[in-house]
Structure 1
Amino acid sequence: MIESIKKYYRVDRREISFLKFILEAYDGLAILTTVDSKKGIVVINIAPGCEADVKMILQDLKQNVMIEYIPYNNSDI
């Protein structure tokens, strides 16, 4: 079985729910889970083969929402 791709982001914590609902609207594309709500750290589990679609969605959302990719490192989170 192919596993999803995990990518961590720092987002405006007030926009976590909005971002989650947007990604869920694209059924089966990605799942957002909150790692640290106070710091706005989320992980997006991306379905295999959907990385380009998620990247395009996030690039578009960056026009209105603070979204910053962070390399995963437990000491940073």
Structure 2
Amino acid sequence: MNNPLKILIQVEPRDISYINKIFEGYDGLAVVTTLNRQEGLIALTVTPETKIDVLGILYNFPKKIVFL
């Protein structure tokens, strides 16, 4: 990835797998890393070119997401 950026979010731990599957379906859009499963902390590594698309998906996610 050129000039990678991190988007840090917190979700319900049960939603981590769902977010992983969503971004697996969008090959190359973001790399999802679970930082703390018990707390639901996730880092999404994106490029400047994919950041807007990733944020659009996250803002429209049907469950609560806290941006850190």
Query: TM-score w.r.t. structure 2 length?
Result: 0.90
Letter in 1 for 2:33: T
Provide the identity percentage: 32
Where does 1:10-25 land on structure 2 (aligned, <5 Å)? 10-25=10-25
Letter in 2 for 1:68: V
- The CA distance in 1 between the partners of 2:9 and 2:52, in whole Å, is 16
What does residue 68 of structure 1 align with?
66
Query: TM-score w.r.t. structure 1 length?
Result: 0.81
What does residue 28 of structure 1 align with?
28
Task: Give a deviation string over 1:15-68, Cα, whole Å, max 9, x none.
Answer: 00000110111110001110000010010001331111001101111xx21111
In structure 1, the residue corresponding to 2:8 is in which secondary structure?
strand
